[in-house]
Amino acid sequence: MLLQLLDVARMVGVALAFYFGYQIGFAEGYDPVAQLHFMTPIIILAIAGISGLEGLLFGKKAAEAKGYEVGSNYQRQSAFALLSYALVAGIVYCADWGIKAELTILFAFLFFFLCSSINHGVDAIRRKNYKWQNINRPFITLLLIAGLIYPVIKALQGL
C-alpha cells in the first residue's frame, strides 16, 4: 500500500509540475526558461527523490513490485544515484545557477531515466516480466520526454 502511495505521489508531483509549469511558461507570452526553472526541480525531486528513498527504505518491497532480485547492491547504488540527481537539482534551483545548469541536471536525469526505461523494456521482453512497475517505465519516460521537448527546444533557442 505504501509503495502505491509513493507511485501516486510521483505522478501527482509530475502532473502538478507540468500543469503549473505550463501556466508559468505561457503567463505573459512564452517564457520557457521560467517554465523549466519551475518544472525541473519538481519533476526530478518527484521522480528521482521519491524513487531513491523508496529504494533505500523499502528496497525489498520495491524490487518485488518490479519483479527484480531483492537485496542487490546495485539496487542500493541506483537509489543513491537517484537521490544524487534530486539533491543536485535542489542545489541548482536554490543557488539559482541558471538555465544551463538546470538543463544539465535535467539532461543527466533524463538520460538515466531513458536508459532505465530501456532496461525495464528489455527485462519485460527477455524475462516476460510484465509486472506493472516494470512495464510502465518505457511509456512514462516517453510521455515525460514528449512533455519536455517543446520548452527545452525553446529554451535552447534562446541561449
The predicted-structure confidence for 66-95, as pLDDT tens digits, reads as follows 666 777 777 889 999 999 999 999 999 999
pLDDT at 110 over 70: yes
Reported as a single tens digit per residue, the pLDDT across 32-57 is 999 999 999 999 999 999 999 998 88
63 pLDDT more than 70: no
**Domain span at 91:** 2-157
Which residue's C-alpha cell is 535535467?
A: 106
Per-residue confidence at 27, pLDDT binned at 50, 70, 90?
very high
As a whole number of Å, the end-to-end CA separation of the chain is 45
pLDDT of residue 65: 66
d(CA 56, CA 26): 38
Could you give the number of structural domains in the chain?
1
In angstroms, rounded to a whole number, what is the distance separating the alpha carbons of residues 56 and 72? 11
Q: Which of 99, 100, 104, 113 is nearest to 47 (CA)?
A: 113
| Residues in CB range of 147: below 8 A, 6 or more apart | 18
Query: Minimal CA–CA distance to 91: which of 79, 78, 80, 104?
Result: 104
Residue 69's φ and ψ, nearest 5 degrees, are -65, 150
